[in-house]
Structure 1
Amino acid sequence: MCSQNNLTYEATMATTTRTVHRAHRVPSKLERHNARRRQSAGVTALIGLLGAVLFVGSLSLFVLILNTVAQNSATPYAAEPTVIETIDGDTIDVRIGYKRQRIRLLGIDTPETKDPRKPVQCFGREASERTEELLPPGTIVRLEHDIEKHDAYNRLLAYVWRASDGLFVNLDLVAGGYADILSIPPNTAHADAFRAAMTAAKATPVGLWATCGGPDKPAS
């Protein structure tokens, strides 16, 4: 299995290396969206190459490959977005310049811990702790936006990368079983990658799939 994983990783890296990006002008928002959808389509093709992921060691390699393929097209900011605190598993506060901004992680949904209309859900505390572990206060992040930049609560919608090592936080939470997927058009740039990671997490199973039997279950 180890040698097969190494061969898979080398093949994927070789494919990624052969991809040449030529930019003669600044692409439009629609062009950037279409490019991200093509990247996500590449992730779907990887599922057949990787096969079913049946244990945690393989899952780690799987996430590494998806991180490589889901290229970072983060939005540049004049000031580096810096984490202030974790609100819950899929919500953080960051500072951009002098402004505090609430971020809702796109494409995923962690069990509720703060919604006054709902009880604390199974694996909600673990999801919040995982997000805080990945993004402790002071962490510099890169933010990628999709078609819609804000939600109805004026939260900034974003795919979040950890700047220090390029970790795709949204993807990590799904792959570790801390989050379900939440694909709401038109914000679906990485939907295929998230779906692939969720399939692997359920097959293992890990996180809420192992402990709770699935999402939206009340905490015991």
Structure 2
Amino acid sequence: MRLHNKLFLFFLILFFLGTSATAQADETVPFLHLIDGDSILVEYEGHSQAVRLIGVDAPEWGQEYGTQAKSFALKFCYGKNLRLEFDRTRRDRHGRLLAYVYSGTSMLNEELVRAGLALAERYEPNTRHQPRLEQAQDEAKRKRMGFWLRGGLEQTPAQWRKTHPRKGGNSPLRQ
């Protein structure tokens, strides 16, 4: 292979490595609104955009602890610029951003689980912080935080959604 071709190949590889790193870069965004305990609305690239928290499933509106999960998330996010950390897949099938959400060094996903207000749930392929979320859940169980005070939820949020379908079908805001 000639030097010219080797240099071209080298720069081509660098270009693709650079764009793939950029695709996974964190974004800082203003908080706009809370959808529920595990979904928020932010301003992203000039538009309001739903963000689904990776690795957690919080009780739904109307489900036990649903109001507490929503209040906790609102207190965490209100009036702040939040940092979104993306994992392997940036969007779900509904077009929502999938992210770990930070205020300073605190991760909302983890703090919800640690407070006993969300379950740690594995959603492939976005599992970068799964051990951290599972450790927070073990801690919440051990300390009997939130719904772990009563040994857990009567139904998981996924089970609750199946028995309480929304009018007009499933919401596109659910994972």
Greater share of strand residues, 1 or 2?
A: 2
TM-score of the aligned structures, taking structure 2 as reference length? 0.72
Q: Which amino acid aligns with 1:108?
A: V
Q: How much is the aligned-residue C-alpha RMSD, in angstroms?
A: 2.5
Q: Which amino acid aligns with 1:124?
A: G
Cα distance in 2 for partners of 1:108, 1:123 equals: 14
Residue pair 1:105, 1:158 contacting (<8 A) in 2 also: yes
Which runs of structure 2 are paired with 1:183-202 in the superposition (5 Å)?
183-202=122-141
Structure 1 equivalent of residue 101 of structure 2: 160
1:185 positional shift:
1.4
State the secondary structure of the residue aligned to 2:75. Answer: helix
State the secondary structure of the residue aligned to 2:106. Answer: coil
Instruction: Give the number of aligned pairs.
Output: 141
Structure 1 equivalent of residue 148 of structure 2: 209
Structure 1 residues 173 and 215, CA, compared in 2 at 3 Å: closer, same or farther? farther
Structure 1 residues 194 and 150, CA, compared in 2 at 3 Å: closer, same or farther? same
Structure 2 equivalent of residue 179 of structure 1: 118
Cα distance in 1 for partners of 2:26, 2:86 equals: 11
Structure 1 residue runs of 5 or longer lacking an equivalent are: 1-24, 33-73, 114-119
Structure 2 equivalent of residue 149 of structure 1: 90
Superposed CA offset, 1:164-204 (max 9, x none): x3211111111010100111111100000000110110111
- The correspondence for 2:108, drawn from 141, 160, 169, is 169
Cα distance in 1 for partners of 2:154, 2:87 equals: 25
1:98 positional shift:
2.0
Structure 1 residues 181 and 124, CA, compared in 2 at 3 Å: closer, same or farther? same
Cα distance in 2 for partners of 1:173, 1:194 equals: 9
Q: Which amino acid aligns with 1:158?
A: A
Higher gyration radius (CA):
2
Structure 2 residue runs of 5 or longer lacking an equivalent are: 1-13, 161-175
Structure 1 equivalent of residue 63 of structure 2: 121
1:209 positional shift:
1.2
TM-score of the aligned structures, taking structure 1 as reference length? 0.58
State the secondary structure of the residue aligned to 2:32. Answer: strand
Matched, 1:90 2:29: no
Structure 2 equivalent of residue 130 of structure 1: 72
Structure 1 residues 132 and 211, CA, compared in 2 at 3 Å: closer, same or farther? farther
Superposed CA offset, 1:5-37 (max 9, x none): xxxxxxxxxxxxxxxxxxxx89959x98xxxxx
Q: Which amino acid aligns with 1:110?
A: A
State the secondary structure of the residue aligned to 1:94. Answer: strand
